[in-house]
Amino acid sequence: MPILIALLLLFGATRAGADEAPHYTLRYDANARTMAVALCLANAAPALRFSGDDSAPRNVEAPLRSSGGVLERDGDGWRARDWRAGECLRYSADLGRIGDAQARRSMLHARATITDPAGWLLMVDGSGDAQARVELPKGIAISTPWIPLASSDGVRRFRIPHTPADWLGRVALGACDERVIAMGGGRLHVALGAGVDLAQRDKLLRWLERVGHAAIPAHGRLPLTDVQVLVIPVGPQREAVVFGQSTRGQGNGLTLFVDPAQGAGEFDRDWVAVHEFSHLFHPHLGARGAWLAEGLATYWQNVLRARSGLLTPRRAWEELADGFVRGARDTRARARELEDASAAMERDHEFTRVYWSGTAYWLDADLALRRASDGRMSLDEVLRRFASCCLPSKRAWAPEAFVEKLDALAGSDVFARRWREYRALRVFPAAPDLESPADAAIRAAIMRPLPAPKVEG
């Protein structure tokens, strides 16, 4: 009995320490481009473990406990025993070195210092969301995926969602121009990188507002209260938007690489931003589910632009038809199953096959829902219900769990049955007939602007 009691006390104390909200104080030195971190917990615990992503052990410098207690390396993290109430873990991180190394491997050639916070902001294993106080020098702004709280001059406060360490996020520090765009129950926290003049800034903000409204499906609101939008100028390019990426680490963010000198018409013709916004409406699906995630965003990038007037409906259908042709051409003879190709997409570069196979899946499902319900049920409605019940999500969803949930919300077997068929395909799927007279009214309804729903709040 004494051993059992001791184990219960040990487990209870550990959970009490881990479940509380960790509190960070972050002090940024703009000249040295370093961040001083103090991670404090109010409660005592017999043992705690601190970790980030697999790069964190290389990036965290001189970690010390304020009590002088022992801090042990433990794989890709650190472990502390006999943690005292009110104790802090203090260390520094050279964000300039980290950001410069990341920029050499990517398109992040920006004047701001941009890093993935999981590489230097240690989290407490098993804890919930954290609180952060960020102290910034004058003239320095911060763009994060974290949830903003009440702030004051020179001090920003945030809630930091605890997400898996291997989920990418971005924190930018520098002379960014910050703006908030209120939209459908949520806020876009826009940070425009240095090098954008006033006219370009106004043009980009108008464009982002149009894109945001175009990307809100039938339920008329963002599924998240706060979304980071980091806009990085990359100099003269052939297109207005060169590349985009959605991120989920420690909150939801979008990064858009743009040529700010391009005209407003060129930005209106862009599809990248709507594609990335569309990723806000599904959970993290992992590599096996990449064909579902990218297929949904590719389907929406055409449908939602048509509904908002950025494309004509006819042109949207042409874009879909052209994509299916390219997807079929990119599917090699004796190809592996679609789910396997999806899992290996980054390595083998079968992007076109994976994206457009997924697009065919979502169009197929949308058509089937509308046919079976005489137009009363649609992909819009199912995703609205999913957003209401299940977003934001701080965990990954298995693809099968996602499609089964959609079926439960729709009262159908449309999604899971087709998922089982598509995931095993070794050929490009037989894309729905885009000229069938029987589906003419449904096709028109898909691309038709939706009536503005009533939005509470």
Last residue of a domain, one of 236, 260, 276: 276
The predicted model scores a pTM of 0.91
Q: Which residues contact 146 (CB under 8 A, 6 or more apart)?
A: 132, 158, 159, 160, 161, 250, 251
Residues 38 and 143 in one domain: yes
On whether residue 8 sits in a domain, the answer given is: no
Q: With H, G, I as helix, E, B as strand and everything else as coil, classify residue 284.
A: coil
In a domain, 171, yes or no: no
Q: Which of 276, 303, 338 is the last residue of a domain?
A: 276
78-98 pLDDT, tens per residue? 999 999 999 999 999 999 999
Say whether both 32 and 156 belong to one domain: yes
Average pLDDT over residues 18-36: 91
Structure tokens at 355: 């994206």
Instruction: Please report which residue ranges of 133-271 form alpha helices under DSSP H.
Output: 198-215, 264-268
Checking if the pLDDT of 15 tops 60, the result is: no
Q: Does residue 205 share a domain with residue 302? A: no
Residue 159 burial by Cβ neighbours in a 10 Å radius (0-12, 13-18, 19+): middle
Beta strands in 151-304 (DSSP E): 155-160, 171-174, 177-183, 186-192, 226-233, 241-247, 253-258
Mean pLDDT of 1-29: 59
Whether 57 has a pLDDT exceeding 70, the answer reads: yes
pLDDT digits (tens, 9 = 90+) for 132-157: 999 999 999 999 999 999 887 779 99
Query: CA angle at residue 360 from 355 to 361, to 5 degrees?
Result: 95
Q: Residues 299, 439: one domain?
A: yes
Interval 429-445 mean pLDDT: 93
pLDDT reading at 166 higher than 90: yes
**Cα(146)–Cα(149) distance, integer angstroms:** 9
Tell me: pLDDT of 163 over 70: yes
Q: Do 136 and 58 lie in a common domain?
A: yes
Residue 170 pLDDT:
96
Does one domain contain both 293 and 441? yes
Distance CA 309, CA 304 (A): 9
- Mean per-residue pLDDT, 180-187: 90
For residue 248, is pLDDT > 50?
A: yes
Judged against a pLDDT cut of 60, whether residue 12 lies above it is answered with no
Average pLDDT of the residues in 260-266: 95
Residue 239 · residue 270 · CB < 8 Å: yes
Kindly state the DSSP code that residue 105 receives in the 8-state scheme: T
* Neighbour tally for 183: CB within 10 Å: 17
Q: Are 209 and 148 in contact (CB under 8 A)?
A: no
**Average per-residue pLDDT for the chain:** 91
Strand partners, 115: 171
| Percent with pLDDT over 70 in the chain | 93
Tally of domains within the chain: 3
pLDDT at 263: 96
Residue 259 has pLDDT above 70, yes or no: yes
pLDDT score for 16: 36
- Supply the pLDDT for residue 456: 43
What is the percent of the chain where pLDDT is above 90?
Answer: 81
Q: Which two structure tokens, joined as six digits, stand for 213? A: 């409204």
pLDDT higher at 403 or 2: 403
Question: What was the pLDDT predicted at 17?
Answer: 46
Residue 430 and residue 287 in one domain? yes
As a whole number of Å, the end-to-end CA separation of the chain is: 55
In which band, very low, low, confident or very high, does the pLDDT at 235 lie, cut at 50, 70 and 90?
Answer: confident
Task: Determine, yes or no, domain membership for 303.
Answer: yes
Q: Report yes or no on 10 lying in a domain.
A: no
Q: Are 118 and 247 in contact (CB under 8 A)?
A: no
Tell me: do 405 and 261 sit in the same domain: no
Q: 3-class DSSP state for residue 42?
A: coil
Same domain, 243 and 309: no
| Better-predicted residue by pLDDT, 384 or 218 | 384
Reply yes or no on whether the pLDDT at 49 is more than 90: yes
For residue 404, tell me if it sits in a domain.
yes
The answer to the question of residue 262 being in a domain is yes
Range of the domain at 37: 15-94+117-165
Residue 365 burial (CB < 10 Å; 0-12/13-18/19+)? buried
Q: Do the Cβ atoms of 211 and 277 come closer than 8 Å? A: yes
Phi (first) and psi of residue 44, to 5 degrees: -80, 155
Indicate whether 413 and 295 sit together in one domain. yes
Q: Which of 79-83, 181-185, 208-212 has the lowest mean pLDDT?
A: 181-185
Residue 455 has pLDDT above 80, yes or no: no
452 vs 317, residue with greater confidence: 317
Q: For residue 457, what are its two tokens?
A: 């709040």
399 with 300, same domain: the answer is yes
Asked if the structure places residue 394 within a domain, the reply is yes
Give CA–CA dist 175/432, Å, rounded.
Answer: 49
Per-residue pLDDT at 11: 39
Q: Residue 102 falls within a domain, yes or no?
A: no
Pairing of strands 123-124, 147-148: unpaired
Tell me the chain's radius of gyration from C-alpha atoms: 24
- 363 compared with 14, residue with greater pLDDT: 363
**pLDDT for 326-381, tens place per residue?**
999 999 877 799 999 999 999 999 999 999 999 999 999 999 999 999 999 999 99
Last residue of a domain, one of 249, 276, 303: 276
Same domain, yes or no: 218 and 269: yes
